[in-house]
Amino acid sequence: QLVQSGAEVKEPGASVKVSCKASGYTFTDYYVHWVRQAPGQGLEWMGWINPNSGDTHYAQKFQGRVTMTRDMSISTAYMDLSSLRSDDTAVYYCARAIPAATFDPWGQGTLVTVSS
């Protein structure tokens, strides 16, 4: 199970940090991916973190603005997105990655609203 932090409202230019707490499995055994979905739009892959090593890889679109981290002591992954713009308004999901591009389960989603 993956449980995410609550909804956030941010002003343009600010940063947001979303958490994703894992339970029911060994946190360090599986990568965690982040995916977002703008209102009425499709799913957009953002990147992943290896909770064991801390290694990360980000989609080119988000490089320089996104940082993924983890705290192994509390089985929690984090996604930090900076320099927020109105088009960053979306539901942000974390998902455990089973090998071969299989995402299961997903967190419940965190709505981030960027508005002045």
Partner 1 sequence: QSALTQPPSASGSPGQSVTISCTGTSSDVGDYKSVSWYQQHPGKAPKLIIYEVNKRPSGVPDRFSGSKSGNTASLTVSGLQAEDEADYYCSSYAGRNNYVFGTGTEVTVL
Q: What do you get for the CA distance between the two ends of the chain, in Å?
A: 34
Binding residue for partner 1, selected from 16, 20, 35, 112, defined by CB under 8 A: 35
68 burial via Cβ count (<10 Å: 0-12, 13-18, 19+): buried
Q: Determine, following the binding rule CB under 8 A, whether residue 48 of this chain makes contact with partner 1.
A: yes
Q: Six-digit token pair at 9?
A: 């409202």
In the complex, minimum distance from the CB of residue 24 to partner 1, in angstroms, rounded to a whole number? 15
Q: Which is nearer to partner 1, 30 or 93 (CB)?
A: 93
Q: Determine, following the binding rule CB under 8 A, whether residue 60 of this chain makes contact with partner 1.
A: yes
Helices (H), 17-107: none
Q: Which is nearer to partner 1, 5 or 45 (CB)?
A: 45
The pattern of x and - marking residues 83 through 112 that bind partner 1 according to CB under 8 A reads ----------x-x--x-xxxxxxxxxx---
Quick check: 94 and 2 in contact, CB under 8 A?
A: yes
Q: Determine, following the binding rule CB under 8 A, whether residue 33 of this chain makes contact with partner 1.
A: yes
Instruction: From 54, 19, 33, 42, select the one nearest 90 (Cα to Cα).
Output: 42
Q: Which residues bind partner 1 (CB under 8 A)?
A: 33, 35, 42-45, 48, 57, 59-60, 93, 95, 98, 100-109
